[in-house]
């Protein structure tokens, strides 16, 4: 088995524990041989691989693969509890308007700074438990869970629009940008995450 310990210095340590049965050849008395191995480096490498596989390098947000997995889980949960009227969820698809102009006029570093700042603003606009992800380029998606009705999703979309009105400071310059947002609600009866994401894209 693998167990996590906290060293007295406060750092995290992972240990692999194993036990083997051995008998004394003379007395036939059974003995247990315990082994402990420090696997902290291996665990850190695994965590780094997992993070690269499911998180966006630039913004630190979940990437497309992670978002689609979370969205599919929400779809499957909704199918199981579809008789409950208070268990709605929605997918939001967001695209920054005229983002290409930022890259072309101010450079890709400024564009990357805007994407990172946009990610932080989106995280501040949603509730704990909601998922904000970056699909790539200037496309973001949001999974809103535990909604009462479509108005809850609309309020969050409006909050995002208002928050993005605050100018970005890129290279000492004030830059203004807006976003287009599409909403797809779980009441449409989707049984696959890809269909819900597609409809949110079409709505945008």
Active-site residue list: 138
81 alpha-carbon distance from chain centroid: 24
Residue 200, both tokens: 């949110």
Cβ–Cβ < 8 Å for 136, 115: no
Furthest-apart CA atoms within the chain: distance in Å: 84
Q: Measured between alpha carbons, how far is 120 from 130 in angstroms, rounded to an integer? A: 14
Q: Measured between alpha carbons, how far is 202 from 184 in angstroms, rounded to an integer? A: 9
């Amino acid at each position: 088995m693998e167990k996590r310990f906290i060293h007295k210095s406060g750092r995290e340590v992972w240990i692999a524990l194993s036990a083997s049965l051995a008998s004394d050849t003379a007395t036939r008395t059974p003995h247990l041989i315990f082994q402990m191995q420090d696997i902290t480096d291996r665990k850190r490498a695994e965590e780094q691989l997992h993070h690269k596989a499911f998180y966006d390098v630039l913004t630190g947000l979940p990437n497309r693969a992670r978002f689609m997995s979370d969205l599919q889980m929400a779809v499957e949960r909704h199918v199981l509890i579809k008789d409950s009227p208070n268990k709605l969820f929605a997918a939001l698809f967001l695209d920054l308007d005229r983002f290409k102009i930022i890259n072309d006029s101010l450079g890709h570093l400024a564009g990357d700074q805007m994407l990172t700042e946009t990610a932080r603003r989106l995280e501040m606009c949603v509730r704990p438990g909601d998922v904000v992800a970056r699909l790539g380029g200037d496309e973001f998606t949001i999974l809103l869970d535990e909604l009462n009705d479509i108005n809850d999703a609309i309020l969050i979309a409006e909050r995002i629009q208002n928050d993005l009105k605050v100018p970005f400071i890129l290279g000492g310059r004030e830059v203004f940008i807006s976003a287009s947002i599409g909403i797809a609600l779980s009441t449409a009866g989707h049984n696959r995450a890809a269909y819900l994401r597609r409809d949110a894209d079409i709505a945008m």
